[in-house]
Structures are given as C-alpha cells and as structure tokens.
Structure 1
Amino acid sequence: MTRYIGEFINTLTNLVYVIYAIHGIRSFRQKKNASAFRAIPYWGLMAVGICSAAFHGSLKYHTQMMDDLSMQLTTTPVLHRVLTVNSSQRTSTAVAILLSVLLVSFATFHVITDELILHSASFVVSVTIIGIRTMQLINLRTEPGAAARRQIWGLVKFGAVIFNVGYVVWLLDGWACEFLKSARAAIGLPWAFLLELHGWWHICTGIGAYIFIAVVDHLASGEDHRDIDRSFAWPAPWASRSIFAGKDIGVDEKRNLDDGESSVVIMSGELLKPEKDFSKDADKIIPEAQELAKSNVQAAIDKLSLLEKQARQASDLATTSRTIVTIVTISKESGDWSLLNDQVLLLSKKHGQLKQATTKMVQKVMEFLEDTPDVETKLSVIETLRTVTEGKIFVEVERARITRYLSHIKKSQGDLNSATDILCELQVETFGSMSRREKTEFILEQVALCIEKGDWTQAAILSRKINKRYFARKPKKTPEQLEKEQKEYEERVKTRASDEPMPEKDESVEDLKLRYYEQQITLAKHDHNYLDTCKHYRDVLDTESVEEDAERLRAVLARIVYYVVLAPYDNEQSDLLHRIQQDSRLSQVPTEARLLKLFTVHELMRWPEIAETFGPHLTSTDVFDKEQNPNDADAYTRWQDLRKRVIEHNVRVIAKYYTRIQTSRLTQLLDLTEDETEKYISDLVTSKTIYAKIDRPARVINFAKPRDADDVLNEWSGNMRSLLGLLERIDHLITKEEMMARIQPTKSEKVKA
C-alpha cells in the first residue's frame, strides 16, 4: 500500500487486461471489412482492467461494485456472439436486446442488494454456455483430425488451464493471507512482489479471458485458420503448437499448394495429400458413363458414384470434383430436373465430402439455372442450392449469389416484400471470401429494394454498412504504374491458395460511388434533411466523370446551392454556405451564384423580389414548384421552405441592426402579416438563433439581449483596461516629445554655431 494507491501490485497487474484488449482492437484494423461490433468483447475486457484497477487503487465501495459488474460486461458480448453465429440480423438484434435487459436487471439487483449468489451464478452460467458453444463451433468449423482443430483445441485447453490456475492462486491468497503477509515482510522488496498472489490471479485470468474471446471471434467470423500465428497475441501461438494441441504440427502441413498444380485438399487450414490418385480411372470411367447415360442415366450415375466414393475416401480432390460435376451434368442433360435436385442433395450429404468439390458442384449447378424450362423448375433448383449451402462458410459467396437470383425472380413476379426480405437476410459484410466490390453491390441492392418497398428505416441502417472511405478519390496513375499493378495482380492470382478468395484488383469504383450517393440523396430528401442532401451532392461533385461532363457539373453545382440555402440556419450550415461560395466553379451557374451571395451578406431580401427574379429559373428545375404537383409534392414544400429561409434571413439581419422596432415597421420590412411575423420570430427564438421579446400592448419588439451584473462588470473592466492603456500610451508619447525637445539646439546655440 502506498500513499496514493491502496494496493499497488494488484492495481498494476490489471494492465494485462488493458494490453490484451488494445491488441485485440488494433488487430481489427488490419482486417478488411471487420465490423466494429466484433470489438465489443475487447472493450469489455478493457473495462475489467480499468474497473479492477480503480477498486484496488481506491478500495472504495462504489469501485468494488464496478469491479464486480465489469465481469458481466465481458461475458455478455461473447455470449451474444456464440449464440448468434449464422443468425439473421433480426434474430441477432432480438438476442442482443434480451441479453441487454438481463444484464441491466442483474446489475441493478446486485447494486441495490449487494448480494453475490445471483451475480456469481449468472457469471458461471454465461461462462458454461460460452464453453459449450465454443466446443460446438470447433467441431462445426474444423474437420476431424485436422491440424486446425488441434491448434484451436490447444488454445482452448491452455486458456482453461491458466484460468483455473489463476482461480487456485486466488483461493490460496485468501486462505494463506496472514502467512503471505509475514513472508513478504521477511523477504523484502522487490522479490516480495512475487508473493502477491492476487496479482498473479489478474495475469492468469487476463490471458485466459483474452484467449477465449479471440477463439470465439475467430470461429464465429469464419476466418482462415492459418491466421492464428499472425493475429493472436502471445502466448496463444505457442499454446496452439504446444503439448496442449496434442501433437506438433509439421512444416509440411503449413505449406500452401495451388489447387491447379496438385490434387492436395485444403480443409480448414490443413493440407491433406490424397492417399491414392484416381485420375487415370476417371479418364477411363467418365467417358464410359457419359456414353452409357444416353441409354440408361441411372446406371451411369451409379457407375460414377462408385468412383466418387473411392476418390472421396482417398481425399483425391481433383477426381472427386470431376466425378460429381459429371454426375450433375448427366442429370441435367437427361432433362429430369428432379433427379438433378436429388443428386445435389445426396452428394452434398456424403460423409467426409470435400469442401472444394462441393463448391465446384454448386458453381456448376448455378450455370444450369438459365437452361431451366420454366420458373417453377428454376425455383426448385434454387431452393435445392440454398438448402445445400445453408450454414456452410465455404460456399457463402455462392449462397449469396443464389439468393440474389431468387430475389430478382420474386421482384419480377411483383412480390416486392418477399424479394426484399430474402435479400436483406444476407449479412454480406461478414463474408471474408467475397470481394469488397461485390459486397458493396449487394448492400446497394438491398438498400434499393428497401427504398422501393418504402422501408426507409431499414434502408438507412443497411446503408451505414458501407464505409465512405472506399469511395475516396484515387490519384491518377501513369501507364507504367498501371502496367506494374497489373503484373502484381496476375502474380497474386497465380500464387494464391485454392481456398483463398480472388485478390481484389485496384479498379475504379465511380459507378458504385454514384449509386451510393444517389440512394443517400433519396433518403435525405425523404427526411427533408437539406444539409445532408447538400453534402451528398458535394461528394458527387468530387467525381472525375462528373467534373468532365459540363452539363452534369452544372446540374450538381445548382443543387448544391439549392439545398444549402434550404437548410435551416446554424453554425454548420453557415460555414458550409461560405465555403461553397468560395468555389470558383460557381461561375458556371451565375443565377445560383447570385442567389447564394444574397444569403451571405447582411442585407434584407424582399421575398416578392426574390420570387420575381429567381422564381422562373428555380421552378423550371425538378427541385421547386410554385403549385402543388401530384407527381412530386415535395417540390412545392421546398418552394415554401425557400420562402421561409428568406424570411428567417431577414429577421436575423433586422435583429443585427435594430435593438427595438415597431411591429408595423417590421411587418412592412418582412412583407408579412402581424401573425406570420410573430410566428417566425417565435420559431427563431425557440431555436436560439436570435433573442427577442414581443411587447404586444406597446406593439414593440425588443432584440437587445439583457445583460446581467457579470456582463456589465466585465464590459466596464474591459473599458477601464482600454482607457488605462490609452492613458499609458499618451504618457509615453508626451515623454517622448519632451525628450526630443531637450536634445534639440536652442536659437542662441544655432547662432553661435
């Protein structure tokens, strides 16, 4: 114990929680399209360290409550993660709300009653569920006997052991407290720190908690198992290859071979060489089966099924893939689409079926969709493919494409609700094997369907999944740079592993950018959020294709001006207004430039004159309309809002130059009735844009804000300081003149000289 910290070592060792939490949060920055929600468990781990340090540093009752509740802050996000793997967004949200309600309820009950039984029981139940679900995920996401499974089991076993070691140390610290105190006093510093067993409890539980959080995130996100060494912090990489993993993982298992050069099977990060090569048998049997299929389809399939079984059991990927692709092709060419569906289901459920072979089969059947004789048959094949790909990460991209195909069919049939629900159930932002461009296209299509359906809230939520930085404008590249990048891309394609997604090519995304901001403008217009609409048009303006097209450039510039003057006045709107005015490109839209300038100077604008001068030009666009238009009711609303902004500008100008004014004179300046004048002044006062008080009996409006005693004294103090400064300067000038007069020669001295 020190003068400032209650328990120094117990406080210091909480840094373990914070350090591991920071490492986990920073690791997400290196991963493409990593959702911010995945970092919540690490923030909970950091909260454990901070709250525990606060308690051991202060030894206060309220910090003890924080220390107790911080454990629940860590386990609850992890519990949500393991319970919602592969769940829809609606289910995930419902589980999150339920767990949040339970967490708040338990926390409130614990703080009020200060009991530990329910608190401890809920913590044990959460940890137990997390442990059971983690074991299920390991069995689900890894192959039996695979090196990846041994690695992850090694991590889990090590985490459990070190967590229990910490628990035993904590029990010993409480049981032998007096003995440890006397031993530390006898040994002395610094070695006495080693007997601070509660500090070792913090270190052990910090490592164990980090390992479980990292393993759950790794399994739930479906990341490549070969990333364990790179993304996990020490001692996780060591634990994954230690005695806890069962046996060492050899160097050969870590090699990454290309699928086109070898029939090596890559399963969950492990490389399995085929026990026997059946390629020669396939070269002989497949042509025979294709010939036999012309007379007896079932016999041909049976013949190929025998070869498929032998190749599958021997882990011969090349032959297995060729065989099952031939089976589904024969089924399709027979014209019996029911047979095709049955074979796809049967082949996908074979024991130990190779993942890459299943992927190739699904891709092949997807090519058959355009050849189906009618919509019913096409829907049956799509439903079969969706059944086969459900819950399988290695075909998540194919499932997404099939689902989009089904959504297009539903939309063409006029069932917009079903089309939207089917497509929006996909959470493509979590798909690690899908390219970023394709993810963006999926999300844009989801947003478009929601807008068409009229579900504006869901459309806004989905649009936030797209990071605007993806659309950032890239500098132009020379032909040499483009050629170099093309060679590097081709090299990455050649050297990639068969289970890795295609590398992303650095290409223009202007088409996606324009689609995205078109949707954002639609959403902002629906909410009558003029300032956001203006910002979105400014982002559209920062596009090469728009800048090169003079007509589109003028249209975008005009709409930027329209929506910035339509936006309600505040500091942000005023700043944006002046920044837009400084844009030299406004000279291309002189009418809009003159309108914008009127809003930047403190001069009155008479609405009748504005309507007469700018009305014909403004109403010729699709933004404004002087009359109600059934095709676009918002155009008339925007015209009325423009009148409102002109009047509000005039009120601000009058409030700047007048301290008090007669109501009759004010209504004359604003071209309004007395009731309308009071309404506009009241609105501006409510929004705290101006200060005003209306004296109805005297028919006078005061704009002078009353000052309290502090303001008066501050002004008097400032005036006195200024006055004293002037007096000091005058004294200095007088002294200077006197000194100059003394050193100048007199007339008698001049005569003598």
Structure 2
Amino acid sequence: MSNVGSSGRALGGELEEKVDLTAETDAKLEQSAQLAKGGQLKEALAMLAALEKRCRVGNDSPNLVRVCESSLQYCKEAGDDEMLLTTLQTLSTRRSQKQAAIRALVHKCIPYCVEGQYTPLSVTGGNEKKARDKLVEALREISDGKIFLEAERARLTRCMAMIMEQEGDMAAAADVLQEVHVETYGSLSKREKVEFILEQMRLTLAKKDYVRAAIVAGKVSRKHLQEDNMEEYKVKFFTLMAELHRHEKNAFLLAKDYHSIYSTPMILNDDTKWKEALQATVVYLALSPYSNEQQDMMNRVHKDSNLEKLSSFQLTIKILLKKEIISYPMTNQVELEGVSAILEGVQDLIQFWHESFHRRIIQHNVRVASLHYRCIHGTRLAQLLGLEPERLEREISSMVSDGSVYAKIDRPKDIVRFAEPKTPESVLSEWASDIDKLLHMVETTTHLINKN
C-alpha cells in the first residue's frame, strides 16, 4: 500500500485496493460496546483503535465512519470529557485519514457542544463549561482550512463567539466572528449566510465598531431580504441599520430604515408594530434635510392609507408639504418628540433631535419666503419667522452653503435678496422663448378658427 496516494488512486493511476470489513466491524463493535458498558472504556477504545487502522488502510470508509462514531459515543456515555477530546484529536489527525471519517467525527461532536444549530448548551457547572469550550476550540482547529467542513466551522465559530459574549468579552466575540467570511461559502444556505452576517453586525455594533458594522452591512443583499421567507431577517437587518444610522445622526437614512421595517408583511399584521414604525418614519422624515428624494418619500408616505389612523402624524406631513410658514413649536411637537424611536439613545442625541426639529422648520420657512419674495428686509423676515436676526442670518448662510436656496444678504441696508440676478443673455433667451410660445398659440388659435 506504500504506492497509494491520498486522492483515492495509486500513484501509478490504478484504483486503490478496498477491503470489506463489515463482518469484523460488526463483531468488534458488539464486543467493544459490552466492554464500555462494563466500565472498561480504555479496553474498548483500544479494540476500536486497531479496527480503525484496518478500515483506514483497507479504504473501507463506511465501516471506518462507524468505528470513529462509536469511539466518541462510548466516551460520551461514560461521561469522560478528557477521553472524548483525546479520542477526537487522535482519530482526526491519523495519517491519511479519510474525509468521510473527519466529517463524521465533527458531525458527531457538534451536538455535544451546540444545541440545535447555533445556541450553546446551558452550562450549570464550571467543569462542564471548560469541557465544552475545549471541545468547541478543538473542533474549530480540526475544521480549519478544510473546504468540506467550511459550514461546520462557521457554526462552531459562531458558537465560540456566543461563549465569549456570555463571558462578557464582546470585543473578542466580534473579532472571532470577523475571521469567517461566510459570504464566500458555497455550502451554506442563503438564510444561514444572512443570519451569520446579522450576528456579525450585532456584535460589531455592540463593540461600537461602527465603521466595521457598515462594511459588514454591505454584504447583505437587499434583494434577498424582500423574499417571503426572509421577513424576520429583514426586520432584524433594518433594526441594526437604524442603530448604525442613529449613531451617525442621519435622519433620512433612519426614515428609510423604519419605512422598510414598516413595509414588511409581518409588521403590517401587528397594529402596534406598524404604528411605531410608521410614526418613526414620519418623525425622521420631518428631521431630514430637504432634498428631492426626501420630498418624494414624504409624498409617498402621505398617500399611505394607514397614515389616516395616525391623525397627528398625517397633519405633520401635510403641513411640511404645504408652501406655508410653520409656527414653532408645532401643535403636535410634544407627541412627535415622544416617539420611542426618538427617545432611544443618550440624552445628547435626544437634545440633538429636538434642536434639529427647530432648524428644519426654520429652513422650511426660509424656502417658503424665497418663493414669495425677491427681496425683503432682514428684520421684517425675522419678525415673520419669529426669529432673532442673528439666528436667521446664520440659517440662511448655512442653506446657501449647502445649495438648498439662493440668497444674498446686504447687511448695511438690511436686505435679503432671494432672486438670482439674470444676465442679459438669459433675459433675451426667456423673452425669445415667450415670443415663440405666443406665436404658437396664435397660430393654433387661427387654425382652429379657420377649421370651424
């Protein structure tokens, strides 16, 4: 057998010789089982060790798997955690060990340290916890670098992260989970990949590594989240994204996050949940900087029939869409700022949203004024908007800087000009365009008169 390669073929190209050891395996398994039940675990394992070698050298993979699984089973039934770990490591590192045997060993041990698919066992004693932790680490080492065990390694890594999280070491849990690039694994289902990535996001956010969390979030396909069986993951994903965007104080992205949660069927079927999500959407839209996208989303939300059941929030959208001056504070200001999505976070963040409300209303009023006045005295405009002249000037300057409005302030004359001056060429072009439209209307009218 010295000329046999590990690929299953001899070096000369011929097939490996295979031996059927079923009869011998049946007999030895029965004998070893009796020894193990009688408290002679070492003798039983020694008997199976010799049989394991014969099966491995004879390329009898089915019986090799049976022998390996039985060896682990005897250790588990005897409650000998040290022997279980030693047997696992010994069998998995045998020279030219078969993939089927290694896979069977890992699959056999995973239920010993993981309940179901991911959740670690509830540990009652310190010794049991240490044994479990050692077993998880040993299984991770065995599966490291083996493509045929990539899915198992991902699950074990998540188990290890949970163990570290239970111990209070969030940073280590996040780091160990980041080692696995699960998005490249072909053996994992779409659901498992998404669940794993969401767990990476949760831990990185708990670690307050917001840059890494944003990178991990980019691995999740929004298209896949729209599928029927992904509703739970969609809600969890956008809840985590809301936590990220809340840290960034990005009101518009928060509005989109909550609207995505709201539009999920499982949320729409729960009156309490959809109302909370829609309320948060409206509030964060009101807090968002003015843009075409923000206005488009506000119009779409305004047409939503469910908004009629939230009269106060419907009124808010209606007021913001109108080209009219808004008084501050608004009549429903307290209710808007009392939404649970606003109250999440530290006191500084709550104060930031409170100040942003006032600022967005000022900016709305300035835009309305720019539509109705070509120029106006700054003192008069401040009086109309209920502001101090200094605050008004500061807000106008900010809006001019971000390009949301055109304005020039003449301080000596106290005049604010909203009308952008036109060049002679632009005036002539507009005049020519108007003449063309007038001639076209005259021509159309003359044609209709002659036709009748």
Same fold judged by TM-score > 0.5? yes
Decide whether the 8 Å contact of 1:471 with 1:509 is kept in 2.
yes
Distance 2:152 2:164 in 1: 19
Question: 1:620 matched to which residue of 2?
Answer: 338
Structure 1, residues 107-162: CA drift from partner, whole Å, max 9, x if none? xxxxxxxxxxxxxxxxxxxxxxxxxxxxxxxxxxx953569xx9xxxxxxxxxxxx
Change (3 A) 1:645 1:337: same
Distance 1:551 1:539 in 2: 16
1:589 shift after superposition: 0.8
Decide whether the 8 Å contact of 2:72 with 2:87 is kept in 1.
yes
Distance 2:313 2:215 in 1: 34
Secondary structure of 1:701's partner?
A: strand
- 1:284 is the counterpart of 2:13: no
Distance 2:381 2:103 in 1: 76
- 1:367 is the counterpart of 2:140: no
Secondary structure of 1:599's partner?
A: helix
1:594 shift after superposition: 0.5
- Aligned with residue 139 of structure 2, among 385, 395, 411: 385
- 1:409 is the counterpart of 2:163: yes
Secondary structure of 1:661's partner?
A: strand
Decide whether the 8 Å contact of 1:473 with 1:543 is kept in 2.
no
Distance 1:399 1:632 in 2: 42
Change (3 A) 1:670 1:314: same
- 1:605 is the counterpart of 2:326: yes
Question: 1:43 matched to which residue of 2?
Answer: none
Question: 1:681 matched to which residue of 2?
Answer: 396
Structure 1, residues 710-740: CA drift from partner, whole Å, max 9, x if none? 3112112112323434554676688x4xx99
- Aligned with residue 81 of structure 2, among 333, 337, 348: 337
- Aligned with residue 417 of structure 2, among 702, 715, 733: 702
Question: 2:65 matched to which residue of 1?
Answer: 321
Distance 2:345 2:96 in 1: 63
Distance 1:387 1:668 in 2: 73
Change (3 A) 1:359 1:714: same
Distance 1:389 1:413 in 2: 24
- Aligned with residue 455 of structure 1, among 202, 209, 215: 209
- Aligned with residue 641 of structure 1, among 356, 371, 376: 356
Distance 1:430 1:732 in 2: 69
The code of the aligned residue for 1:571 comes to N
Map of 1:225-264 to 2, 5 A cutoff?
none
Change (3 A) 1:378 1:433: same
Structure 1, residues 442-471: CA drift from partner, whole Å, max 9, x if none? 111111011111011111111111111112
Secondary structure of 2:409's partner?
A: strand
Decide whether the 8 Å contact of 1:692 with 1:701 is kept in 2.
yes
Residue identity over aligned pairs, in percent, reads: 31
1:340 shift after superposition: 2.4
Structure 1, residues 224-259: CA drift from partner, whole Å, max 9, x if none? xxxxxxxxxxxxxxxxxxxxxx98x9xxxxxxxxxx
Question: 2:116 matched to which residue of 1?
Answer: none
Decide whether the 8 Å contact of 2:252 with 2:294 is kept in 1.
yes
Question: 1:561 matched to which residue of 2?
Answer: 282
Question: 2:230 matched to which residue of 1?
Answer: 509
Question: 1:307 matched to which residue of 2?
Answer: 51
Distance 1:527 1:471 in 2: 23
Distance 1:357 1:733 in 2: 91
Distance 1:725 1:429 in 2: 62
C-alpha RMSD of matched pairs (Å): 2.6
- Aligned with residue 384 of structure 2, among 640, 647, 669: 669
The code of the aligned residue for 2:139 comes to L
Secondary structure of 1:607's partner?
A: coil
Map of 1:93-492 to 2, 5 A cutoff?
144=7, 275-293=18-36, 294-369=38-113, 370=121, 373-474=127-228
Distance 1:566 1:640 in 2: 10
Structure 1, residues 650-683: CA drift from partner, whole Å, max 9, x if none? 0000000100001111101111111100011011
Distance 1:316 1:300 in 2: 20
The code of the aligned residue for 2:362 comes to I
Map of 1:71-110 to 2, 5 A cutoff?
none
Decide whether the 8 Å contact of 2:9 with 2:16 is kept in 1.
no
Change (3 A) 1:711 1:415: same
Change (3 A) 1:313 1:344: same
The code of the aligned residue for 1:701 comes to V
1:333 shift after superposition: 3.7
Decide whether the 8 Å contact of 1:581 with 1:597 is kept in 2.
yes
The code of the aligned residue for 1:455 comes to D
1:321 shift after superposition: 0.7
- 1:528 is the counterpart of 2:249: yes
Decide whether the 8 Å contact of 1:623 with 1:635 is kept in 2.
no
Distance 1:439 1:709 in 2: 62
Change (3 A) 1:430 1:143: farther
1:695 shift after superposition: 0.4
Change (3 A) 1:461 1:732: closer
The code of the aligned residue for 2:20 comes to D
Question: 1:589 matched to which residue of 2?
Answer: 310
Question: 2:117 matched to which residue of 1?
Answer: none
Distance 1:402 1:688 in 2: 52
Change (3 A) 1:324 1:695: same
Decide whether the 8 Å contact of 2:307 with 2:314 is kept in 1.
yes
Query: Structure 2-normalised TM-score?
Result: 0.90
Distance 2:234 2:377 in 1: 53
The code of the aligned residue for 2:32 comes to A
Decide whether the 8 Å contact of 1:410 with 1:419 is kept in 2.
yes
Q: Bigger CA drift: 301-310 or 653-662?
A: 301-310
Distance 1:511 1:426 in 2: 23
Change (3 A) 1:289 1:274: farther
Q: Which has the higher contact order (CA 8 A, sep 6+)?
A: 1
Decide whether the 8 Å contact of 2:32 with 2:44 is kept in 1.
yes
Decide whether the 8 Å contact of 2:280 with 2:339 is kept in 1.
no
Change (3 A) 1:425 1:730: closer
Change (3 A) 1:665 1:306: same
1:530 shift after superposition: 1.4
Change (3 A) 1:145 1:289: closer
1:375 shift after superposition: 2.3
Map of 1:540-555 to 2, 5 A cutoff?
540-555=261-276
Distance 2:162 2:359 in 1: 44
The code of the aligned residue for 1:622 comes to S
Distance 1:385 1:731 in 2: 90
Decide whether the 8 Å contact of 2:136 with 2:156 is kept in 1.
yes
Decide whether the 8 Å contact of 1:274 with 1:316 is kept in 2.
no
Question: 1:169 matched to which residue of 2?
Answer: none
Structure 1, residues 4-33: CA drift from partner, whole Å, max 9, x if none? xxxxxxxxxxxxxxxxxxxxxxxxxxxxxx
Structure 1, residues 318-355: CA drift from partner, whole Å, max 9, x if none? 21111011112223344443332222222112222221
